[in-house]
Amino acid sequence: MKQALYLSTLLLAWSVQVQAEEGVWAEVMEVTPLKEFVNEPHRECWTEKVTEYRESARYQPDERYSPAGAVVGAVTGGVIGNRMGSGRGRGAATAAGIVIGALIGDRIDNHDYYVEPEIHREPVTRSVERCKEQRNYRAVIKRYHVVYRHNGVEGETYLQHHPGTRLRLDVPAEPVR
């Protein structure tokens, strides 16, 4: 009798352990993947040829230009500046008269001989890298909404993975996460 009691206790303990290892399973009724759209941008670059124009001005002096007006103006301005200055300022007044007289004399003598510069436009081509960031959206499954049935009672949960056709529950009929 003791052996039968011992054997039945052992058998009961073993069946409880097997049931605990196997767990309680529920039938999965419905699985809905919950998606989130994620932007994974990528950069797209290319090389373009760009042509710009570089301008340069060339002055061609007129062959009829004469320095005589500047020389006469410098002498005249120097004499006037020397007469107007006195004491220590006489040298400065003479120098200023020479410079101003040379400019005025040159302008009077050569006013018709100033030539507009020739503008040359020279094309310059260079390579330029251009880039643009492209948006790249894709759907990513974040989790699953699972509806299950255990002992005639429906329940629902959210899982990080797809459960398959059966869902293992904790002892109080809660899904194992």
Q: Running DSSP on this structure, what letter comes out for residue 161? A: S
* Rounded CA separation 77/131 (Å): 64
What is the average pLDDT across 39-68? 83
Q: Running DSSP on this structure, what letter comes out for residue 134? A: E
Ranges of each domain in the chain: 23-41+135-177
Note the pTM of the prediction, 2 decimals: 0.39
Question: If you write DSSP's letter for every residue of 27-58 in order, what string do you get?
Answer: EEEEEEEEEEEEE--EEEEEEEEEEEEEEEEE
Whether residue 115 contacts residue 62, with contact meaning beta carbons closer than 8 Å, is answered with yes
* Rounded CA separation 35/141 (Å): 4
Per-residue pLDDT tens for 74-126? 888 888 888 888 888 888 888 888 899 888 888 887 766 656 677 888 899 99
| Whether the predicted pLDDT of 35 surpasses 60 | yes
Whether residue 105 contacts residue 19, with contact meaning beta carbons closer than 8 Å, is answered with no
